[in-house]
Structure 1
């Protein structure tokens, strides 16, 4: 078994609590489903947001999900690169898995598909 990183990103239209929490939950749900993982397989989750999203901590959405209460979570600000994608939430999910690196499915939703078009599914 190895520790693998699963990446994902999603955008929101507004800097408001509910859209941020809903988008975070949607992204994590899709990552979990695509990779067939359970909360107890998770080492930790790093959540970053762009500087224009300050209405809430996105990790709150994860903490409220059943089975995720004990998973270590951390929120941080994304590096503020000029011209980069706005209103974006990114996840780095570290998971214990037998999957190879090439078998990991990274998830990019909404406008975040622009970040990694090679990994985004239409």
Structure 2
């Protein structure tokens, strides 16, 4: 089992915009890591307190993640933290080594882990 991280910033606190951003993030994580939904043991989402118009997990359900266990939580409201951000941790069954995993950071979220965000540029 490996963990795959991802994050994306969202332009507005609107359900449709949050859904579109989360779906884009999940699709890229699946594509870049060559995952099948059956490989995903669980997905843990968090959103910053300024994003309360939608549950990120509901966006996953809209694109067919119906059997994947999903969990959502709220990020801490930390001074100077990144606003308007959804993060995800996928727990996946894979034979890949950690250095073979492609973590995906989109929008302004690439500042969270620039060492991992470089993978999306390769």
- Tell me the TM-score range normalised by the shorter chain: over 0.9
1:91, 1:74 → 2: CA distance?
10
Does 1:75 find its partner at 2:85?
A: no
Provide, for residues 48-104 of structure 1, a one-character-per-residue CA deviation record: whole Å limited to 9, x for no partner.
0000000011111111213x2111001100122111000000000000000001101
**Which runs of at least 4 in structure 1 moved beyond 2 Å after TM superposition?**
none
1:118 to 112, 115, 119: 115
Provide the TM-score with structure 1 as the length reference. Answer: 0.94
1:48 equivalenced with 2:40 (yes/no): no
2:86 aligns with: 89
The alpha-carbon deviation at position 117 of structure 1 amounts to 1.2
Structure 1: which 5+ residue stretches go unaligned?
none
- Secondary structure of 1:119's counterpart equals helix
Q: 1:28 aligns with which of 17, 26, 33?
A: 26
The size of the alignment, in residue pairs, is 119
What is the Cα deviation at residue 25 of structure 1?
0.3
What root-mean-square deviation, in Å, do the aligned CA atoms of Structure 1 and Structure 2 show? Answer: 0.8
Give, in whole Å, the separation in 2 of the partners of 1:30 and 1:83. Answer: 28
Task: Name whichever structure is richer in helix by fraction.
Answer: 2
Provide the residue aligned with 1:15 in structure 2.
13
Q: State the TM-score, normalized to the length of structure 2.
A: 0.94
